[in-house]
Amino acid sequence: MNGRRRFVVAGARAAGVALLAGVPGLQAAPAQAACGRVVALAFASSLRTLFKASADAVYRSGDGGRNWALVALPPATVSRTLTSIALSAGGKGALYVAGLGLGVVRSDDGGRHWSARTKGLPGNDVAALATHADRPGTVYAYLAGHGIFRSEDGGRRWRLMDAGPRGGITRLVHSNMPGSMQSGWLFAAAPQGVQRSMDCFCGWHDAGELGRTVRAVAYDPRQPRTVYAATDAGLFSSTDGGEKWSPSNAPGASVEALAVAPDGALYAGGAEGSVFRRNGDATAWERINA
C-alpha cells in the first residue's frame, strides 16, 4: 500500500454502515455496533462533530454524542487494529485514521474516499497519531521501536524526528500552549506518566509527577495550559501545562480516551464503549449514549 494509493468506499460495506452526514445512505449505527472499547475520540471544530473509534470501527455524531453513525472505512482496515483518529486544524478538517497493520489513511470528505498516507514510514504499525493544533498540513505519527515521524504535507511524506520518550507512547496530542521554542508542545500518554516535549523535539521530560500509567491525554483549546490525563488510578487535571496534577472527578467507568470541544466540554470514552461528557468547569458527568 503506497502513499498515493486511493480507496473508494462504494455504498455500505455491511448493514448499518453510513457515510458523511447529509449524504444519502446515512443510517444510525446499530446499538450492538457501538459497544466496543473506545480507543480514541476527536472533535471536528468546524463541523461541530464528535468522532469516536473502537478497535475496528469509527463513528461520528453531530449532536454531541447522543446519536452515532458508522463511518465507512476502506477495505484496508479489515482485520486491522485501530489506535487513533485525528482531525486537521481549520476548514472542514481532514480525517485521519491510524492503526496497527494499517498505517495512516486520510479522508477529505468524511469517509467516502480514502487515501493511504504511508510514504516514508518504516511500517504500518502506527501506535499513536496527532495533528498540529494550528497547522492543517502537519501530522505526527508514532511507531513503536522507530520513533515519532512528522509530515508537513498532510501525510504524503514523513520524516523521522525523534525516538520518542523512553517506555513508548499510547496516545499523542499536539498543543499550542505558549512557551515553546517553535510552534507548540507534544504531550504523550506513556507507561510512566505524561511526557512533554516542545515540537522542536528538544528533549522529552516528565510533565509533573504522576508516576503511573496514562491511557489518554487531552488539552483545552480555550486554555491550552489546562491538560487532562486518564490513568489507571482515575482522572487527573493540570492548569499549568502538566507541572502539577490534581485528581479530577471521573465518570463511572475506566477512561480510555479523552477529547475537549472548543466550548470546553470534556468527553471521555469508557472501556465498555460508553461516552461521557462534562460541561465546562462542571464536576458532574453525563452518559451521552445508550
Distances (CA, A) of 206 to 140, 202, 227, 241: 20, 13, 14, 11
285 Cβ contact partners less than 8 Å away, ≥ 6 residues apart: 249, 250, 251, 252, 268, 276, 277, 278
Q: 103, 89 in Cβ contact below 8 A?
A: no
Alpha-carbon torsion, ordered 101, 103, 106, 110, to 10 deg = 30
How much is the CA Rg of the chain, to the nearest whole Å? Answer: 17
What is the structure's pLDDT at 77? Answer: 77
Residue 226's pLDDT is 97
What is the DSSP secondary structure assignment for residue 117, as one 8-state letter? -
C-alpha cell at 285: 458527568
Could you give the domains of the chain?
6-287 (2.130.10.10)
Q: Which of 110, 14, 24, 10 is nearest to 59 (CA)?
A: 110
pLDDT in the model for residue 36: 83
- AA letter at 17: V
Amino acid at site 236: F
Q: Residue 3 has what pLDDT? A: 43
Query: Mean pLDDT of residues grouped by 10 in the chain (290 residues)?
Result: 44 33 37 68 87 95 91 85 95 91 94 94 97 97 98 97 96 97 97 97 96 96 97 95 95 91 93 89 81
Look at the chain and count its residues.
Answer: 290
- Predicted pLDDT of residue 17: 33
Nearest to 236 by CA among 252, 218, 222, 224: 218
Q: Could you say which DSSP state residue 178 is in?
A: T
